[in-house]
Structure 1
């Protein structure tokens, strides 16, 4: 490009270095075009507000930070000035050269414009005008809508000392209503953002960083830090809520037992206690750890949803023997929080729960399940022979001494209908981590029961088709992958991996299932 190339019918201005002082005719023509452009812009805004769709071609310029076009487009008609201004300085230059001059940005152009753009010594509009109205740009004739000639010359006039102040002031006065409207919209958007994030403000999480976010000043690192603090706050809130629920449960249980003791004492005062009252007080004392055990279940057993998912394995077994009807219901011994009862109810199967923990019984009844507070043996002894379709006990038999377990199995066999089943789930000590550690999380567990021993016990008490079902579903069990054959010493290494998987990644629970002939 050469110096002092004239704009067609727009006066004279240099396009490489300095600007020659414009004449009065130049300024008159500029102001005339400025008024036309402002009127056109206001008309366009009104059409958009009324819902009219303005004619617009796809933008040839990628957004700021996006890689420039790999191809050299020929510059289809309809290019707009604002489309060129979206990219940052270097990407803007590269795309302007490709769209207007139909070639890549050369070293001379980079040296001439890039540093001045970054230093705000020249505007992008001036660069566009210099490129478009250079001999090369005029030869290509790429149409650019948006008053490029006017705005480019106007920017150049603004730089003229003293003389440039007048048109600049006039332009700002003309655009003042638009600027005020934009500011009002920005203020409304800001308050909307504040209202949407009011919960963050109320939580008092680092107000300075919050306002940085609102003002768009926070970098990604500070945003991530804020999100991390909010997540930690939510986690702490959940923990405190859980602790509050535990304390409330314990307090209510203590209050209930204290009222019972006071009532018994009031009945006999000043007389001494009789045998029945002593038995009542003793029974109340047996439940003093009920709340503690419920808290243990919540902490170590797993969430209600997880236990319900794990119990799905028993659905088809129960259906296969025709259990879950009014004549032959399912009896869930040690029903706990009632996850299996809920699952069976969801599938329209009749089930009844038995448990000794008064708090768990109350919670199940409040949920709408039929649950009886009783000892499993005492309850089974009161049932008629062959009156039950299936009996389940999830994590029950590890709590029962061996002699009582044998008696329990005998009573289950008596009350089952022919073809009915029992299914007892228990921790699997074949998994060394379970057998050596996790089993003893529950202090009421007596000792682990190996699968083959449980299978033998059921067969010895008269059950048929006894099977062991090792359970890994919904238990986060992960095995180590074997090494590829091409790995050095793969065969020896895989033997070690198989040993680890067999002893540490095997099913953490199993069910022993038996049928009545």
Structure 2
């Protein structure tokens, strides 16, 4: 599998980590749909028996910290050491680790839930099934999974962003039905979808799923 995209993504987010963190500060508290999605995820975790959950592609830790405020035992993993450094500095009492969703540094069936917000958007189509296999490997049977991604078709190359710093990442837009098929093939049951237009920007999608028994 071509892994150049991993190197480019890691380097790009190391470059923009501080600026990105400033731009997303408070984004969750200002968006009722995002807060509602996280509250629903927390309820799903509790209904599955509680336990640790992983925020894959956690960035500067905003989502991880919000889950902890909902009394979810959440920790974060991100490909970018720069992002993890920012997250650890902002939330010193929480757990953050460097790691790739293509090879999660977690034991089998070690988490009771998994959340991936806007971290799949840089994963090429051919790598998504392997990523979902990793998700299934680390989530306990019955554990909830919540995905948040750009809705649409096609992709574009992003060469600048977050404080006008240089980047080189491809941003993929996908149909909810397409991602649903990948999840089912990996051993998840998709329980719901939420599609919305956040502040008149690009269409977004949530998928709510559980790992099959």
CA distance in 2, matches of 1:403, 1:379: 18
Q: Does 1:513 pair with 2:204?
A: no
More helix by share: 1
Query: CA separation in 2, counterparts of 1:350 and 1:462?
Result: 24
Matched, 1:464 2:189: yes
Any residues of structure 2 matched to 1:284-363 within 5 Å, and which?
A: 289-294=12-17, 297=20, 302-310=23-31, 311-312=34-35, 313-322=37-46, 328-363=51-86
Cα gap change, 1:345/1:317 in structure 2, threshold over 3 Å: closer, same or farther? closer
Deviation for aligned residue 1:340: 0.7
- For 2:107, the equivalent position in structure 1 comes to 383
How many angstroms apart in 2 are the aligned matches of 1:395 and 1:413?
A: 18
- 1:274-322, CA deviations, whole angstroms, 9 ceiling, x for partnerless residues? xxxxxxxxxx9996544433256358xx431113544311222232232
**How has the CA–CA distance of structure 1 residues 339 and 309 changed in structure 2, closer, same or farther, with 3 Å as cutoff?**
farther
Q: Distance in 1 between matches of 2:148 and 2:16?
A: 19
Equivalent residue, structure 2, for 1:211: none
Under a length normalisation based on structure 2, what TM-score does the superposition of the two structures give?
0.75
SS at match of 1:330: strand
Q: Are the equivalent residues in 1 in contact too, given 2:147–2:208 (CA < 8 A)?
A: yes
Does 2:154 match 1:426? no
Q: How does 1:160-171 map to 2 (within 5 A)?
A: none
Q: Matched residues in 2 for 1:293 and 1:450: separation? A: 28
Structure 1 contact 332–353 (Cα < 8 Å) conserved: yes
Using the alignment, how far apart are the partners of 1:415 and 1:309 within structure 2? 31
Task: Give the CA deviation at 1:400.
Answer: 1.2
Partners in 2 of 1:427 and 1:471 — Cα distance? 10
Unpaired runs of 5+ residues, structure 2, are 1-6, 162-167
What RMSD in Å do the two structures reach over aligned CA positions? Answer: 3.3
8 Å Cα contact 2:116-2:147 kept in structure 1: yes
* Distance change (3 Å), C-alpha of 1:324 and 1:306: farther
Mapped to 2, the partners of 1:453 and 1:375 lie a distance apart of: 23
* Structure 1 counterpart SS, 2:28: helix
Residue 400 (structure 1) aligned with residue 123 (structure 2): yes
Q: Say if 1:468 and 1:513, in contact at 8 Å, map to a contact too.
A: yes
Contact kept, 8 Å, 1:323 with 1:389, in 2: the verdict is no
Q: Tell me how many residue pairs correspond in the alignment.
A: 195
Decide whether aligned partners of structure 1 residues 403 and 285 sit closer, same or farther in structure 2, where only a CA change above 3 A counts.
closer
Deviations for 1:316-365, whole angstroms, at most 9, x for unmatched residues? 2232232798x731101110011111101212211110012222211211
Contact 2:12 2:169 in 1 (8 A): no
- 5 Å matches for 1:68-467? 289-294=12-17, 297=20, 302-310=23-31, 311-312=34-35, 313-322=37-46, 328-366=51-89, 367-368=91-92, 369-380=94-105, 382-384=106-108, 386-429=109-152, 443-467=168-192
Distance 1:314 1:376 in 2: 20
| Mapped partners of 1:324, 1:365: distance in 2 | 28
Q: CA deviation at 1:460?
A: 2.3
- Which structure would you say has the larger RCO, counting Cα contacts within 8 Å and 6 or more residues apart? 2
CA distance in 2, matches of 1:448, 1:309: 24
Does the aligned pair in 2 maintain the 1:427–1:509 contact within 8 Å? Answer: yes
Unaligned runs of 5+ in 1: 1-283, 478-504
- Higher gyration radius (CA): 1
Q: TM-score, normalized by length of structure 1? A: 0.34
What is the CA deviation profile of residues 53-77 of structure 1, one whole-angstrom value per residue up to 9, with x for unaligned ones?
xxxxxxxxxxxxxxxxxxxxxxxxx
